Structure 1
Amino acid sequence: MSDVLPLTPDELLATTRSVRKRLDLTRDVPLDVVRDALEVALQAPSGSNQQGWHWLVVTDAEKRKAIGEYYRESYTAYRSNSAHPANRSTGDAERDATQNRVSDSATYLAEKMGEVPVLVIGALTASAELPASNQAGMWGSLLPAAWSLQLALRARGLGSAWTTLHLRYEKEISQLLGVPDHVRQGVLLPVAYYTGDTFKPAKRAPIDTVLHIDGW
């Protein structure tokens, strides 16, 4: 069992951040540490206890490079879109500055994705064609486990970032990794040890701006 940081549950939940620029691209990540974190993640809820999730842990340098290229191409298209947060102002100077910092770190990650020591893809058994209706029930059987994985990684001194832009090339990446048609990808987590000492809670809008009791 890998060493775990002495964090309270609230500290762990409040300080697990998307790590992009602080991923250590030079330090190897032992597969046993990722396996330990995944063991924890598999305790997450799953609809009807189906546990239809699959986890592709990619360490091969050439495969990571290929996935990184697909991710970079998808990010480039996304970044040039007028709807991208960095391409429009909210009217709030502080928030715009924050969005610009996030965009800058996202651009860095897009350029370095293929160099991250471990890439973890969370996938789910599903039909070849996803349902046209609300898919919350289906993905609700994967995404809590992916978040649990991020928490478990953080507790072991590893950083990660929630990304989905690779899905633009899901078919190509599935072919690269030999994923069958009935398994669909849901999230890509770059995983590495992080540089620096620690993390702190992010600034969020006050709870009263988003809380609704007994109605909207």
Structure 2
Amino acid sequence: MTLPLSPDELLTTTRSVRKRLDLERPVPIELVRECLEVALQAPTGSNSQNWHWVVITDAGLRRTVGDYYKRSYDAYSDQRAARNAALSAERQAVGARVATSADHLAEHMGDVPVLVLACITVGEDFPPGNQAGLWGSLLPAAWSYQLAARARGLGSAWTTLHLAYEKEVGEALGIPPHVRQGVLLPTAYYTGETFKPAPREPLDTVLHLDTW
């Protein structure tokens, strides 16, 4: 059963859910599988389909991933205040709200019922030069997963801070060295129904027609 959302509603109201993830309500694995089936319809370079999806439901493993995420987040948050100080007052206010939400997720990442880790086969080393082709064969599918989750009443958040400890997380989960991690998607039912489009800078501030 999916929510009655138009395509534009789905695309503009799929938000990163952090504070409002329901940490107590179990998420059926069948629902996660439905979302991943949708994700597998995303494009990949040369139709390679060289992605892998690690779905983490074991409480101990979730706690392990959460601990590494929190360690990385603590280092990141120490730098965030200095960056935000250079922004406008309006942007600082937005940043403060996001920071509070992010703080909450960092404290509870290991409590989220399902963690989905999107990975891709690479080899021992990343390809040299521009890697757009590599990540373009994984990240659209991860976004499709988030859209499918939203349509099924699930919330998720796009997170990558754990990658500071990619090797350690990979070893804990048994991920082979030639498979690299792209994004971690904590997934749970959400509370509240107030999803709406987020404020963004006007299109014309970033739009370039023909030339810069």
TM-score of Structure 1 vs Structure 2, range by shorter chain: over 0.9
Query: What number of residue pairs does the alignment pair up?
Result: 212
Matched, 1:5 2:20: no
* 8 Å CA contact 2:84, 2:95 repeated in 1: no
Normalising by structure 2, we get a TM-score of 0.97
Aligned equivalent of 1:53: 51
Whole-angstrom CA distance in 1 between matches of 2:87 and 2:62? 39
Aligned equivalent of 1:186: 182
Whole-angstrom CA distance in 1 between matches of 2:51 and 2:81? 31
Q: Alignment RMSD, CA only?
A: 1.1
Displacement of 1:162: 0.2
Identity percentage of aligned residues: 65
Whole-angstrom CA distance in 1 between matches of 2:118 and 2:82? 28
Deviations 1:172-195 (A, max 9, x none): 111111111110000000000000
Aligned equivalent of 1:127: 123
Secondary structure of the residue that 1:44 maps to in structure 2? coil
Deviations 1:135-192 (A, max 9, x none): 1110000000000000000000000000001111111111111111110000000000
**Alpha-carbon distance change, 153 to 85 in structure 1, aligned in 2, over 3 angstroms:** farther
Displacement of 1:12: 0.1
Whole-angstrom CA distance in 1 between matches of 2:175 and 2:87? 44
Deviations 1:42-85 (A, max 9, x none): 0001000000000000000000000000000000011112xx26
Whole-angstrom CA distance in 2 between matches of 1:155 and 1:90? 37
Secondary structure of the residue that 2:85 maps to in structure 1? coil
Bigger Cα displacement from structure 2, 94-103 vs 115-124: 94-103
Q: 1:174 aligns with which of 148, 170, 173?
A: 170
One-letter code of the match for 1:142?
A: L
Matched, 1:165 2:165: no
* 8 Å CA contact 2:2, 2:151 repeated in 1: yes
Q: 1:101 aligns with which of 88, 97, 100?
A: 97
Secondary structure of the residue that 1:131 maps to in structure 2? coil
Whole-angstrom CA distance in 2 between matches of 1:108 and 1:87? 20
**Alpha-carbon distance change, 99 to 214 in structure 1, aligned in 2, over 3 angstroms:** same
Displacement of 1:92: 2.1
Runs of 4+ in 1 over 6 A off after TM superposition: none
Normalising by structure 1, we get a TM-score of 0.96
Secondary structure of the residue that 1:190 maps to in structure 2? strand
Whole-angstrom CA distance in 1 between matches of 2:168 and 2:60? 15
Displacement of 1:198: 3.4
Whole-angstrom CA distance in 2 between matches of 1:193 and 1:187? 19
Secondary structure of the residue that 1:186 maps to in structure 2? strand
The unaligned stretches of length 5 or more in structure 2 are: none
One-letter code of the match for 1:202?
A: A
One-letter code of the match for 1:50?
A: S
Displacement of 1:133: 1.4
Whole-angstrom CA distance in 1 between matches of 2:92 and 2:86? 6
Deviations 1:3-41 (A, max 9, x none): 100000000000000000000001000000000010011
